[in-house]
A and B are shown apart, each in its own frame.
Chain A
Protein backbone atom coordinates (compact mmCIF):
# COMPACT_ATOMS: atom_id res chain seq x y z
CA UNK A 1 0.00 0.00 0.00
CA UNK A 2 2.86 2.35 0.76
CA UNK A 3 6.49 1.77 -0.04
CA UNK A 4 7.70 4.16 2.61
CA UNK A 5 10.73 3.01 4.59
CA UNK A 6 9.32 4.77 7.62
CA UNK A 7 6.82 1.91 7.89
CA UNK A 8 9.62 -0.21 9.32
CA UNK A 9 9.58 1.99 12.40
CA UNK A 10 5.81 2.30 12.53
CA UNK A 11 4.49 2.79 16.05
CA UNK A 12 1.85 0.40 17.30
CA UNK A 13 -1.81 1.41 17.03
CA UNK A 14 -1.84 2.24 20.75
CA UNK A 15 1.64 3.77 20.89
CA UNK A 16 1.68 6.01 24.00
CA UNK A 17 3.72 8.80 22.38
CA UNK A 18 1.39 8.90 19.39
CA UNK A 19 -1.71 8.95 21.58
CA UNK A 20 -0.13 11.68 23.71
CA UNK A 21 0.32 13.79 20.57
CA UNK A 22 -3.36 13.26 19.71
CA UNK A 23 -4.42 14.09 23.27
CA UNK A 24 -2.36 17.26 23.07
CA UNK A 25 -4.38 18.21 19.94
CA UNK A 26 -1.21 17.95 17.85
CA UNK A 27 -1.19 17.48 14.08
CA UNK A 28 0.24 14.49 12.28
CA UNK A 29 2.06 15.39 9.06
CA UNK A 30 2.91 13.06 6.15
CA UNK A 31 6.56 12.48 7.13
CA UNK A 32 5.75 11.78 10.77
CA UNK A 33 5.72 8.23 12.05
CA UNK A 34 2.17 6.98 12.46
CA UNK A 35 0.50 3.66 13.30
CA UNK A 36 -0.32 1.51 10.29
CA UNK A 37 -3.94 1.33 11.38
CA UNK A 38 -4.11 5.14 11.50
CA UNK A 39 -2.65 5.40 8.01
CA UNK A 40 -4.97 2.75 6.57
CA UNK A 41 -8.00 4.22 8.26
CA UNK A 42 -7.24 7.66 6.79
CA UNK A 43 -6.56 6.30 3.32
CA UNK A 44 -9.91 4.51 3.38
CA UNK A 45 -11.78 7.57 4.65
CA UNK A 46 -10.12 10.17 2.40
CA UNK A 47 -10.41 7.94 -0.67
CA UNK A 48 -14.09 7.33 0.02
CA UNK A 49 -14.56 11.05 0.48
CA UNK A 50 -12.75 11.82 -2.81
CA UNK A 51 -14.74 9.15 -4.67
CA UNK A 52 -17.95 10.66 -3.27
CA UNK A 53 -17.02 14.06 -4.68
CA UNK A 54 -16.45 12.76 -8.19
CA UNK A 55 -19.43 10.39 -8.26
CA UNK A 56 -21.44 13.27 -6.77
CA UNK A 57 -20.74 15.27 -9.93
CA UNK A 58 -23.09 12.98 -11.86
CA UNK A 59 -26.56 13.58 -10.39
CA UNK A 60 -26.11 17.36 -10.67
CA UNK A 61 -24.07 17.21 -13.87
CA UNK A 62 -27.05 15.64 -15.56
CA UNK A 63 -28.94 18.93 -14.99
CA UNK A 64 -26.29 21.32 -16.37
CA UNK A 65 -27.74 20.96 -19.86
CA UNK A 66 -31.28 21.45 -18.56
CA UNK A 67 -30.92 24.21 -15.95
CA UNK A 68 -33.97 26.44 -16.38
CA UNK A 69 -32.17 29.81 -16.58
CA UNK A 70 -28.72 30.87 -17.72
CA UNK A 71 -27.92 32.13 -14.23
CA UNK A 72 -28.82 28.72 -12.74
CA UNK A 73 -26.79 27.02 -15.44
CA UNK A 74 -23.70 29.08 -14.62
CA UNK A 75 -24.05 28.42 -10.89
CA UNK A 76 -24.54 24.70 -11.41
CA UNK A 77 -21.56 24.43 -13.73
CA UNK A 78 -19.42 26.21 -11.15
CA UNK A 79 -20.73 23.96 -8.38
CA UNK A 80 -20.00 20.73 -10.23
CA UNK A 81 -16.60 22.15 -11.11
CA UNK A 82 -16.01 22.79 -7.40
CA UNK A 83 -16.77 19.13 -6.73
CA UNK A 84 -14.12 18.06 -9.23
CA UNK A 85 -11.75 20.41 -7.41
CA UNK A 86 -12.66 18.85 -4.06
CA UNK A 87 -11.91 15.44 -5.53
CA UNK A 88 -8.50 16.73 -6.58
CA UNK A 89 -7.61 18.17 -3.14
CA UNK A 90 -8.72 14.96 -1.45
CA UNK A 91 -6.86 12.60 -3.77
CA UNK A 92 -3.80 14.80 -3.22
CA UNK A 93 -4.29 14.54 0.57
CA UNK A 94 -4.56 10.74 0.25
CA UNK A 95 -1.38 10.65 -1.83
CA UNK A 96 0.58 12.18 1.07
CA UNK A 97 -0.10 8.86 2.82
CA UNK A 98 1.82 6.91 0.17
CA UNK A 99 -1.00 5.82 -2.14
CA UNK A 100 -1.55 6.80 -5.76
CA UNK A 101 -4.64 8.41 -7.28
CA UNK A 102 -4.55 5.99 -10.21
CA UNK A 103 -4.71 3.03 -7.82
CA UNK A 104 -7.49 4.59 -5.79
CA UNK A 105 -9.55 5.15 -8.95
CA UNK A 106 -8.90 1.56 -10.03
CA UNK A 107 -10.23 0.41 -6.67
CA UNK A 108 -13.32 2.56 -7.07
CA UNK A 109 -13.90 1.20 -10.56
CA UNK A 110 -13.41 -2.37 -9.35
CA UNK A 111 -15.95 -1.81 -6.59
CA UNK A 112 -13.29 -2.33 -3.90
CA UNK A 113 -13.70 1.14 -2.41
CA UNK A 114 -16.98 2.85 -1.75
CA UNK A 115 -18.49 6.28 -2.20
CA UNK A 116 -21.34 7.92 -0.34
CA UNK A 117 -24.54 6.02 -1.04
CA UNK A 118 -26.49 9.26 -1.23
CA UNK A 119 -25.40 9.67 -4.85
CA UNK A 120 -27.22 6.50 -5.84
CA UNK A 121 -30.55 8.29 -5.61
CA UNK A 122 -32.02 9.81 -8.79
CA UNK A 123 -32.63 13.51 -9.56
CA UNK A 124 -35.87 13.41 -11.56
CA UNK A 125 -36.75 17.12 -11.29
CA UNK A 126 -35.00 20.48 -11.08
CA UNK A 127 -36.08 20.71 -7.45
CA UNK A 128 -33.81 17.74 -6.66
CA UNK A 129 -30.87 20.02 -7.47
CA UNK A 130 -32.15 22.39 -4.79
CA UNK A 131 -32.69 19.55 -2.31
CA UNK A 132 -29.20 18.16 -2.90
CA UNK A 133 -27.67 21.56 -2.22
CA UNK A 134 -29.75 22.26 0.85
CA UNK A 135 -29.92 18.82 2.49
CA UNK A 136 -27.07 16.73 1.10
CA UNK A 137 -24.51 19.53 1.14
CA UNK A 138 -25.93 20.67 4.47
CA UNK A 139 -25.36 17.22 5.95
CA UNK A 140 -21.92 17.10 4.37
CA UNK A 141 -20.97 20.42 5.98
CA UNK A 142 -22.16 19.21 9.37
CA UNK A 143 -19.91 16.17 8.96
CA UNK A 144 -16.98 18.06 7.53
CA UNK A 145 -16.62 21.18 9.64
CA UNK A 146 -15.22 19.10 12.55
CA UNK A 147 -12.81 17.48 10.07
CA UNK A 148 -11.06 20.85 9.69
CA UNK A 149 -9.65 19.97 13.14
CA UNK A 150 -8.82 16.40 12.17
CA UNK A 151 -5.46 15.17 13.53
CA UNK A 152 -4.05 14.55 10.04
CA UNK A 153 -2.79 17.90 8.72
CA UNK A 154 -3.31 17.55 4.94
CA UNK A 155 -6.89 16.28 5.38
CA UNK A 156 -7.73 19.04 7.86
CA UNK A 157 -6.35 21.74 5.56
CA UNK A 158 -8.19 20.38 2.50
CA UNK A 159 -11.40 20.47 4.52
CA UNK A 160 -11.04 24.17 5.33
CA UNK A 161 -11.36 25.15 1.70
CA UNK A 162 -13.93 22.49 0.89
CA UNK A 163 -16.20 23.63 3.72
CA UNK A 164 -16.12 27.23 2.50
CA UNK A 165 -17.26 26.13 -0.94
CA UNK A 166 -19.82 23.70 0.46
CA UNK A 167 -21.47 26.42 2.47
CA UNK A 168 -22.00 28.35 -0.74
CA UNK A 169 -23.41 25.20 -2.33
CA UNK A 170 -25.85 24.82 0.50
CA UNK A 171 -27.05 28.40 0.17
CA UNK A 172 -27.62 28.02 -3.56
CA UNK A 173 -29.68 24.87 -2.91
CA UNK A 174 -31.72 26.74 -0.31
CA UNK A 175 -32.27 29.57 -2.77
CA UNK A 176 -33.45 27.22 -5.54
CA UNK A 177 -35.99 25.68 -3.15
CA UNK A 178 -37.04 29.07 -1.79
CA UNK A 179 -37.77 30.31 -5.31
CA UNK A 180 -39.74 27.16 -6.17
CA UNK A 181 -41.58 27.09 -2.87
CA UNK A 182 -42.74 30.67 -3.40
CA UNK A 183 -43.50 30.21 -7.09
CA UNK A 184 -46.51 28.54 -8.70
CA UNK A 185 -48.44 25.71 -7.03
CA UNK A 186 -46.77 23.30 -9.40
CA UNK A 187 -43.29 24.58 -8.48
CA UNK A 188 -44.08 24.43 -4.77
CA UNK A 189 -45.23 20.84 -5.16
CA UNK A 190 -42.04 20.01 -7.06
CA UNK A 191 -39.96 21.42 -4.19
CA UNK A 192 -41.95 19.56 -1.53
CA UNK A 193 -41.66 16.24 -3.35
CA UNK A 194 -37.90 16.64 -3.69
CA UNK A 195 -37.55 17.37 0.03
CA UNK A 196 -39.69 14.31 0.75
CA UNK A 197 -37.31 12.23 -1.36
CA UNK A 198 -34.06 13.53 0.13
CA UNK A 199 -34.80 14.02 3.85
CA UNK A 200 -34.35 10.47 5.11
CA UNK A 201 -31.39 9.62 2.85
CA UNK A 202 -29.72 12.83 4.16
CA UNK A 203 -30.12 11.68 7.76
CA UNK A 204 -28.56 8.36 6.78
CA UNK A 205 -25.47 10.18 5.48
CA UNK A 206 -24.25 10.37 9.09
CA UNK A 207 -23.89 6.62 9.13
CA UNK A 208 -25.29 3.99 11.47
CA UNK A 209 -26.29 4.75 15.06
CA UNK A 210 -23.34 4.98 17.44
CA UNK A 211 -23.83 1.53 18.94
CA UNK A 212 -23.79 0.03 15.41
CA UNK A 213 -20.72 1.88 14.14
CA UNK A 214 -17.66 -0.37 14.52
CA UNK A 215 -14.91 2.02 13.37
CA UNK A 216 -16.12 5.12 15.16
CA UNK A 217 -14.45 4.62 18.53
CA UNK A 218 -11.00 4.13 17.02
CA UNK A 219 -11.39 7.13 14.70
CA UNK A 220 -12.37 9.25 17.69
CA UNK A 221 -9.44 7.99 19.76
CA UNK A 222 -7.11 9.03 16.93
CA UNK A 223 -8.61 12.48 16.58
CA UNK A 224 -9.86 11.82 13.06
CA UNK A 225 -13.47 11.97 14.11
CA UNK A 226 -14.47 14.57 16.72
CA UNK A 227 -18.16 13.84 17.22
CA UNK A 228 -20.23 10.68 17.01
CA UNK A 229 -22.62 9.89 14.14
CA UNK A 230 -25.65 10.50 16.33
CA UNK A 231 -24.32 13.82 17.69
CA UNK A 232 -23.72 15.10 14.17
CA UNK A 233 -27.09 13.86 12.94
CA UNK A 234 -28.84 15.68 15.80
CA UNK A 235 -26.89 18.85 15.02
CA UNK A 236 -28.04 18.65 11.39
CA UNK A 237 -31.69 18.14 12.34
CA UNK A 238 -31.57 21.06 14.78
CA UNK A 239 -30.09 23.30 12.09
CA UNK A 240 -32.45 22.17 9.32
CA UNK A 241 -35.89 22.24 10.94
CA UNK A 242 -36.02 26.06 11.24
CA UNK A 243 -34.68 26.38 7.68
CA UNK A 244 -37.53 24.19 6.39
CA UNK A 245 -39.98 26.58 8.02
CA UNK A 246 -38.28 29.53 6.36
CA UNK A 247 -38.65 27.72 3.05
CA UNK A 248 -42.33 27.08 3.61
CA UNK A 249 -41.75 23.35 3.18
CA UNK A 250 -42.40 20.44 5.53
CA UNK A 251 -40.07 17.61 6.49
CA UNK A 252 -41.61 14.17 6.00
CA UNK A 253 -41.48 13.00 9.62
CA UNK A 254 -44.68 12.99 11.72
CA UNK A 255 -42.60 12.40 14.88
CA UNK A 256 -40.62 15.60 14.50
CA UNK A 257 -41.15 17.61 17.71
CA UNK A 258 -39.18 20.10 19.74
CA UNK A 259 -38.07 18.77 23.11
CA UNK A 260 -38.05 21.64 25.61
CA UNK A 261 -36.06 19.61 28.13
CA UNK A 262 -33.11 18.85 25.84
CA UNK A 263 -33.38 21.84 23.51
CA UNK A 264 -33.20 19.46 20.54
CA UNK A 265 -35.60 18.36 17.83
CA UNK A 266 -36.74 14.79 18.35
CA UNK A 267 -37.08 12.86 15.09
CA UNK A 268 -38.56 9.54 14.06
CA UNK A 269 -36.82 6.21 13.70
CA UNK A 270 -34.55 5.83 10.66
CA UNK A 271 -35.04 2.79 8.45
CA UNK A 272 -31.42 1.72 8.18
CA UNK A 273 -32.30 -1.44 6.28
CA UNK A 274 -32.70 0.83 3.24
CA UNK A 275 -29.28 2.41 3.85
CA UNK A 276 -27.55 -0.95 4.07
CA UNK A 277 -29.35 -2.07 0.95
CA UNK A 278 -28.03 0.94 -0.94
CA UNK A 279 -24.51 0.54 0.51
CA UNK A 280 -24.54 -3.04 -0.68
CA UNK A 281 -25.13 -1.95 -4.25
CA UNK A 282 -28.91 -2.24 -4.47
CA UNK A 283 -29.70 1.49 -4.64
CA UNK A 284 -31.70 2.84 -7.56
CA UNK A 285 -28.66 4.01 -9.49
CA UNK A 286 -25.56 2.18 -8.19
CA UNK A 287 -24.98 0.39 -11.47
CA UNK A 288 -25.60 3.49 -13.59
CA UNK A 289 -23.24 5.70 -11.56
CA UNK A 290 -20.44 3.15 -11.77
CA UNK A 291 -21.02 2.51 -15.46
CA UNK A 292 -20.85 6.24 -16.21
CA UNK A 293 -17.63 6.63 -14.21
CA UNK A 294 -15.96 3.57 -15.75
CA UNK A 295 -17.14 4.64 -19.20
CA UNK A 296 -15.61 8.12 -18.90
CA UNK A 297 -12.39 6.60 -17.55
CA UNK A 298 -12.14 4.00 -20.33
CA UNK A 299 -13.01 6.46 -23.09
CA UNK A 300 -10.28 8.75 -21.77
CA UNK A 301 -7.59 6.04 -21.57
CA UNK A 302 -6.09 6.90 -24.97
CA UNK A 303 -5.91 10.58 -23.98
CA UNK A 304 -4.04 9.85 -20.75
CA UNK A 305 -1.71 7.45 -22.57
CA UNK A 306 -0.96 10.14 -25.16
CA UNK A 307 -0.24 12.73 -22.48
CA UNK A 308 2.18 10.32 -20.77
CA UNK A 309 3.89 9.45 -24.06
CA UNK A 310 4.22 13.12 -24.99
CA UNK A 311 5.67 14.00 -21.59
CA UNK A 312 8.15 11.13 -21.79
CA UNK A 313 9.26 12.09 -25.32
CA UNK A 314 9.78 15.68 -24.34
CA UNK A 315 11.60 14.80 -21.15
CA UNK A 316 14.03 12.62 -23.08
CA UNK A 317 14.39 15.23 -25.83
CA UNK A 318 15.21 17.98 -23.36
CA UNK A 319 17.57 15.61 -21.50
CA UNK A 320 19.24 14.91 -24.86
CA UNK A 321 19.58 18.61 -25.52
CA UNK A 322 21.11 19.20 -22.10
CA UNK A 323 23.70 16.46 -22.69
Chain B
Protein backbone atom coordinates (compact mmCIF):
# COMPACT_ATOMS: atom_id res chain seq x y z
CA UNK B 1 0.00 0.00 0.00
CA UNK B 2 2.63 2.44 1.07
CA UNK B 3 4.95 1.91 -1.85
CA UNK B 4 2.11 2.54 -4.27
CA UNK B 5 1.21 5.74 -2.43
CA UNK B 6 4.69 7.12 -2.93
CA UNK B 7 4.67 6.38 -6.63
CA UNK B 8 1.11 7.39 -7.39
CA UNK B 9 1.92 10.28 -9.66
CA UNK B 10 4.47 8.51 -11.79
CA UNK B 11 2.34 5.42 -12.10
CA UNK B 12 -0.85 7.11 -13.26
CA UNK B 13 0.25 9.94 -15.43
CA UNK B 14 3.70 8.77 -16.32
CA UNK B 15 5.07 10.32 -19.44
CA UNK B 16 1.68 11.86 -20.20
CA UNK B 17 2.54 14.73 -17.86
CA UNK B 18 5.06 16.33 -20.13
CA UNK B 19 3.33 19.59 -20.85
CA UNK B 20 -0.16 20.87 -21.38
CA UNK B 21 -0.82 20.40 -25.06
CA UNK B 22 -3.47 17.70 -25.16
CA UNK B 23 -6.07 19.53 -27.18
CA UNK B 24 -5.22 21.90 -29.99
CA UNK B 25 -8.24 24.13 -29.42
CA UNK B 26 -7.73 24.63 -25.70
CA UNK B 27 -5.37 27.14 -24.11
CA UNK B 28 -2.85 25.40 -21.84
CA UNK B 29 -3.40 27.87 -18.98
CA UNK B 30 -7.13 27.25 -19.14
CA UNK B 31 -6.72 23.49 -19.03
CA UNK B 32 -4.39 24.04 -16.08
CA UNK B 33 -6.97 26.20 -14.32
CA UNK B 34 -9.54 23.46 -14.78
CA UNK B 35 -7.20 20.72 -13.51
CA UNK B 36 -6.39 22.93 -10.54
CA UNK B 37 -10.06 23.14 -9.52
CA UNK B 38 -10.47 19.39 -9.54
CA UNK B 39 -7.12 18.89 -7.84
CA UNK B 40 -7.89 21.41 -5.09
CA UNK B 41 -11.23 19.71 -4.37
CA UNK B 42 -9.46 16.40 -3.93
CA UNK B 43 -6.56 17.81 -1.93
CA UNK B 44 -8.67 19.72 0.56
CA UNK B 45 -11.03 16.80 1.14
CA UNK B 46 -8.03 14.46 1.53
CA UNK B 47 -6.78 16.79 4.25
CA UNK B 48 -10.17 16.72 5.99
CA UNK B 49 -10.50 12.93 5.69
CA UNK B 50 -6.97 12.54 7.04
CA UNK B 51 -8.16 14.07 10.30
CA UNK B 52 -10.19 10.90 10.91
CA UNK B 53 -7.22 8.54 10.85
CA UNK B 54 -6.72 7.30 14.45
CA UNK B 55 -10.03 8.91 15.43
CA UNK B 56 -12.67 6.80 13.63
CA UNK B 57 -15.56 5.03 15.41
CA UNK B 58 -14.11 1.57 14.65
CA UNK B 59 -10.73 0.23 13.58
CA UNK B 60 -12.10 -0.96 10.22
CA UNK B 61 -13.25 2.60 9.60
CA UNK B 62 -9.78 4.00 10.31
CA UNK B 63 -8.58 1.75 7.49
CA UNK B 64 -11.43 2.69 5.14
CA UNK B 65 -11.25 6.44 5.69
CA UNK B 66 -7.47 6.36 5.30
CA UNK B 67 -7.97 4.53 2.03
CA UNK B 68 -10.41 7.15 0.76
CA UNK B 69 -8.10 9.96 1.86
CA UNK B 70 -5.22 8.27 0.03
CA UNK B 71 -7.25 7.92 -3.16
CA UNK B 72 -8.22 11.60 -3.04
CA UNK B 73 -4.65 12.61 -2.34
CA UNK B 74 -3.49 10.54 -5.30
CA UNK B 75 -6.01 12.28 -7.55
CA UNK B 76 -4.90 15.65 -6.20
CA UNK B 77 -1.26 14.86 -6.91
CA UNK B 78 -1.81 13.90 -10.52
CA UNK B 79 -4.10 16.86 -11.17
CA UNK B 80 -1.83 19.41 -9.48
CA UNK B 81 1.21 17.99 -11.23
CA UNK B 82 -0.59 18.36 -14.54
CA UNK B 83 -1.83 21.88 -13.72
CA UNK B 84 1.71 22.89 -12.74
CA UNK B 85 3.15 22.00 -16.13
CA UNK B 86 1.50 25.17 -17.51
CA UNK B 87 3.87 27.46 -15.62
CA UNK B 88 6.56 25.15 -14.28
CA UNK B 89 5.26 24.75 -10.73
CA UNK B 90 5.45 21.42 -8.89
CA UNK B 91 2.59 19.73 -7.05
CA UNK B 92 4.18 20.84 -3.78
CA UNK B 93 4.58 24.46 -4.85
CA UNK B 94 0.90 24.49 -5.74
CA UNK B 95 -0.19 22.73 -2.56
CA UNK B 96 2.04 24.51 -0.09
CA UNK B 97 2.75 27.98 -1.44
CA UNK B 98 -0.67 29.32 -2.35
CA UNK B 99 -2.84 31.29 0.09
CA UNK B 100 -6.52 30.56 0.53
CA UNK B 101 -7.55 33.00 -2.22
CA UNK B 102 -5.38 31.03 -4.65
CA UNK B 103 -7.31 27.81 -4.00
CA UNK B 104 -10.16 26.93 -6.35
CA UNK B 105 -11.96 24.20 -4.39
CA UNK B 106 -15.66 24.25 -3.56
CA UNK B 107 -16.76 25.12 -0.04
CA UNK B 108 -18.18 21.64 0.55
CA UNK B 109 -14.72 20.09 0.92
CA UNK B 110 -13.24 22.76 3.20
CA UNK B 111 -15.96 22.80 5.87
CA UNK B 112 -14.79 21.29 9.16
CA UNK B 113 -16.71 18.23 10.33
CA UNK B 114 -15.62 18.66 13.96
CA UNK B 115 -15.43 14.92 14.49
CA UNK B 116 -19.07 14.42 13.47
CA UNK B 117 -19.17 11.11 11.63
CA UNK B 118 -22.64 11.85 10.19
CA UNK B 119 -21.32 15.04 8.60
CA UNK B 120 -18.30 13.18 7.27
CA UNK B 121 -20.48 10.51 5.69
CA UNK B 122 -23.08 12.95 4.30
CA UNK B 123 -20.35 15.03 2.67
CA UNK B 124 -18.69 11.96 1.22
CA UNK B 125 -21.99 10.79 -0.23
CA UNK B 126 -22.65 14.12 -1.96
CA UNK B 127 -19.10 14.66 -3.15
CA UNK B 128 -18.50 11.13 -4.39
CA UNK B 129 -21.86 11.09 -6.18
CA UNK B 130 -20.67 14.20 -8.03
CA UNK B 131 -17.19 12.76 -8.66
CA UNK B 132 -18.55 9.49 -10.07
CA UNK B 133 -20.56 11.39 -12.68
CA UNK B 134 -17.71 13.81 -13.36
CA UNK B 135 -14.94 11.30 -13.86
CA UNK B 136 -17.14 8.91 -15.84
CA UNK B 137 -17.60 11.66 -18.43
CA UNK B 138 -14.15 13.21 -18.16
CA UNK B 139 -12.67 9.82 -19.04
CA UNK B 140 -13.74 10.74 -22.60
CA UNK B 141 -12.09 14.17 -22.50
CA UNK B 142 -10.22 15.17 -25.64
CA UNK B 143 -7.33 15.98 -23.28
CA UNK B 144 -5.57 12.63 -22.96
CA UNK B 145 -4.07 13.31 -19.55
CA UNK B 146 -7.37 14.33 -17.99
CA UNK B 147 -8.98 11.30 -19.62
CA UNK B 148 -6.33 8.94 -18.19
CA UNK B 149 -6.54 10.42 -14.69
CA UNK B 150 -10.34 10.18 -14.76
CA UNK B 151 -10.41 6.61 -16.03
CA UNK B 152 -8.43 5.53 -12.96
CA UNK B 153 -10.19 7.83 -10.50
CA UNK B 154 -13.72 6.80 -11.44
CA UNK B 155 -13.10 3.32 -10.05
CA UNK B 156 -11.87 4.78 -6.78
CA UNK B 157 -14.74 7.19 -6.29
CA UNK B 158 -17.30 4.50 -7.09
CA UNK B 159 -15.98 2.71 -4.02
CA UNK B 160 -16.15 5.91 -1.96
CA UNK B 161 -19.76 6.39 -3.00
CA UNK B 162 -20.59 2.85 -2.05
CA UNK B 163 -18.91 3.22 1.33
CA UNK B 164 -20.80 6.45 2.07
CA UNK B 165 -24.05 4.86 0.89
CA UNK B 166 -23.68 1.91 3.24
CA UNK B 167 -23.15 4.24 6.20
CA UNK B 168 -26.06 6.54 5.36
CA UNK B 169 -28.30 3.47 5.20
CA UNK B 170 -27.02 2.09 8.51
CA UNK B 171 -27.18 5.39 10.35
CA UNK B 172 -30.52 6.44 8.87
CA UNK B 173 -32.14 3.11 9.62
CA UNK B 174 -30.15 2.24 12.76
CA UNK B 175 -31.12 3.67 16.14
CA UNK B 176 -33.32 6.67 16.91
CA UNK B 177 -30.22 8.64 17.87
CA UNK B 178 -28.34 7.76 14.69
CA UNK B 179 -31.36 8.68 12.61
CA UNK B 180 -31.50 12.16 14.14
CA UNK B 181 -27.76 12.62 13.76
CA UNK B 182 -27.70 11.40 10.15
CA UNK B 183 -30.55 13.71 9.20
CA UNK B 184 -28.70 16.59 10.86
CA UNK B 185 -25.56 15.67 8.91
CA UNK B 186 -27.46 15.76 5.62
CA UNK B 187 -29.13 19.05 6.56
CA UNK B 188 -25.74 20.61 7.36
CA UNK B 189 -24.07 19.43 4.15
CA UNK B 190 -26.93 20.06 1.76
CA UNK B 191 -26.53 23.87 1.30
CA UNK B 192 -23.01 23.26 -0.06
CA UNK B 193 -23.93 20.75 -2.76
CA UNK B 194 -25.22 23.29 -5.30
CA UNK B 195 -21.79 24.85 -5.80
CA UNK B 196 -20.49 21.55 -7.25
CA UNK B 197 -22.79 21.97 -10.22
CA UNK B 198 -22.21 25.63 -11.06
CA UNK B 199 -20.99 26.25 -14.55
CA UNK B 200 -18.92 29.19 -15.77
CA UNK B 201 -17.14 30.61 -18.82
CA UNK B 202 -13.95 28.62 -18.31
CA UNK B 203 -15.81 25.34 -18.62
CA UNK B 204 -17.71 26.66 -21.64
CA UNK B 205 -14.51 27.71 -23.40
CA UNK B 206 -12.86 24.34 -22.75
CA UNK B 207 -15.56 22.47 -24.64
CA UNK B 208 -14.85 18.74 -24.90
CA UNK B 209 -11.73 19.04 -22.77
CA UNK B 210 -13.88 19.58 -19.66
CA UNK B 211 -17.24 18.42 -18.36
CA UNK B 212 -19.97 20.97 -17.72
CA UNK B 213 -20.87 20.44 -14.05
CA UNK B 214 -24.42 21.67 -14.66
CA UNK B 215 -25.05 18.42 -16.53
CA UNK B 216 -24.01 16.36 -13.50
CA UNK B 217 -26.62 17.83 -11.20
CA UNK B 218 -29.50 15.60 -12.19
CA UNK B 219 -27.76 12.21 -12.14
CA UNK B 220 -25.70 12.91 -9.00
CA UNK B 221 -28.65 14.26 -7.03
CA UNK B 222 -30.89 11.45 -8.22
CA UNK B 223 -28.42 8.99 -6.71
CA UNK B 224 -28.18 10.89 -3.43
CA UNK B 225 -31.95 11.27 -3.11
CA UNK B 226 -32.38 7.55 -3.72
CA UNK B 227 -30.01 6.74 -0.86
CA UNK B 228 -31.69 9.26 1.44
CA UNK B 229 -35.10 7.72 0.78
CA UNK B 230 -33.84 4.18 1.21
CA UNK B 231 -32.31 5.25 4.53
CA UNK B 232 -35.82 6.39 5.60
CA UNK B 233 -34.54 9.98 5.86
CA UNK B 234 -35.84 13.20 4.28
CA UNK B 235 -34.26 15.17 1.47
CA UNK B 236 -33.34 18.49 3.14
CA UNK B 237 -35.15 21.62 2.11
CA UNK B 238 -32.63 24.27 2.98
CA UNK B 239 -31.29 27.46 1.43
CA UNK B 240 -28.26 27.18 -0.85
CA UNK B 241 -24.95 28.53 0.50
CA UNK B 242 -23.37 31.38 -1.51
CA UNK B 243 -20.39 29.49 -2.98
CA UNK B 244 -17.56 31.25 -4.78
CA UNK B 245 -14.74 28.75 -4.23
CA UNK B 246 -13.98 28.53 -7.96
CA UNK B 247 -13.23 32.28 -7.86
CA UNK B 248 -11.03 32.00 -4.79
CA UNK B 249 -13.69 33.16 -2.34
CA UNK B 250 -13.71 30.83 0.65
CA UNK B 251 -15.32 30.28 4.00
CA UNK B 252 -13.28 31.03 7.11
CA UNK B 253 -12.49 27.31 7.44
CA UNK B 254 -9.96 27.10 4.61
CA UNK B 255 -7.23 29.41 5.96
CA UNK B 256 -6.68 27.44 9.21
CA UNK B 257 -6.67 24.16 7.24
CA UNK B 258 -3.96 25.54 4.96
CA UNK B 259 -2.04 27.07 7.86
CA UNK B 260 -1.64 23.62 9.39
CA UNK B 261 -0.90 21.87 6.12
CA UNK B 262 1.61 24.44 4.86
CA UNK B 263 3.36 25.35 8.13
CA UNK B 264 6.62 23.46 7.68
CA UNK B 265 7.44 24.21 4.01
CA UNK B 266 6.58 27.86 4.62
CA UNK B 267 8.79 28.04 7.71
CA UNK B 268 11.74 26.52 5.81
CA UNK B 269 11.24 27.48 2.18
CA UNK B 270 13.16 26.00 -0.74
CA UNK B 271 14.43 22.86 0.96
CA UNK B 272 13.93 19.20 0.07
CA UNK B 273 11.86 17.01 2.38
Residue B201 at the chain A interface, CB threshold 8 Å: no
Interface residues of B in 233-273 (CB under 8 A from A): 260-261, 263-265, 268, 271-273
Contact A65 B47 (CB under 8 A): yes
Contact A179 B5 (CB under 8 A): no
Residue B2 at the chain A interface, CB threshold 8 Å: yes
Minimum CB–CB distance from B219 to chain A (whole Å) comes to 27
Residue A77 at the chain B interface, CB threshold 8 Å: yes
Contact A165 B171 (CB under 8 A): no
Residue B28 at the chain A interface, CB threshold 8 Å: no
Counting residue pairs across A and B whose Cβ atoms lie within 8 Å, the total is 160
Q: How far is the CA of A124 from the CA of B171 in the complex (A)?
A: 38
Contact B63 A85 (CB under 8 A): yes
In the complex where A70-B92, A183-B271 touch, is A302 in contact with B175 (Cβ < 8 A)? yes
Residue A303 at the chain B interface, CB threshold 8 Å: yes
Contact A74 B273 (CB under 8 A): no
Minimum CB–CB distance from B152 to chain A (whole Å) comes to 15
Contact with B along A59-98 (1 / 0, CB 8 A): 0010011101111111101111110110110010000000
Interface of B is mostly: helix
Contact with B along A268-279 (1 / 0, CB 8 A): 000000000000
Contact A77 B50 (CB under 8 A): yes
With beta carbons under 8 angstroms apart, the residue of B53, B80, B115 that contacts A77 is B53
Give chain A residues whose Cβ lies under 8 Å from the Cβ of B96: 68-69
Who on chain A is nearest to B8 by CB? A74
With beta carbons under 8 angstroms apart, the residue of A71, A81, A84, A88 that contacts B70 is A81
Residue B214 at the chain A interface, CB threshold 8 Å: no
Q: How far is the CA of A88 from the CA of B272 in the complex (A)?
A: 35
Residue B88 at the chain A interface, CB threshold 8 Å: no
Give chain B residues whose Cβ lies under 8 Å from the Cβ of A310: 169-171, 173-174
Minimum CB–CB distance from B115 to chain A (whole Å) comes to 6
- How many chain A residues touch the partner (CB < 8 A)? 53
Residue A184 at the chain B interface, CB threshold 8 Å: yes
Q: Which of the listed residues A80, A169, A303 has the most CB atoms from chain B within 10 Å of its own CB?
A: A303
Contact B273 A68 (CB under 8 A): yes
In the complex where A165-B2, A169-B2, A186-B268 touch, is A74 in contact with B73 (Cβ < 8 A)? yes
Contact with B along A281-323 (1 / 0, CB 8 A): 0000000000010011001111111111110010000000000
Residue A58 at the chain B interface, CB threshold 8 Å: yes
Residue B189 at the chain A interface, CB threshold 8 Å: no
Point out residues on A near B: beta carbons under 8 Å: 54, 57-58, 61, 64-66, 68-75, 77-82, 84-85, 87-88, 91, 126, 165, 168-169, 172, 179-180, 183-184, 186-187, 292, 295-296, 299-310, 313
Complex A-B: 20 CB contacts under 8 Å: A54-B59, A73-B50, A74-B73, A74-B77, A78-B2, A81-B62, A81-B63, A84-B53, A84-B59, A168-B2, A183-B271, A296-B57, A299-B57, A300-B61, A302-B178, A303-B117, A304-B58, A305-B175, A309-B174, A310-B174
- 10 tightest A-B contacts by CB? A300-B57, A306-B174, A306-B178, A81-B66, A61-B54, A78-B2, A303-B57, A74-B5, A57-B54, A68-B273
Point out residues on B near A: beta carbons under 8 Å: 1-6, 8-9, 43, 47, 50-51, 53-63, 66-67, 69-70, 73-74, 76-77, 80, 91-92, 95-96, 115, 117, 169-171, 173-175, 177-178, 181, 260-261, 263-265, 268, 271-273
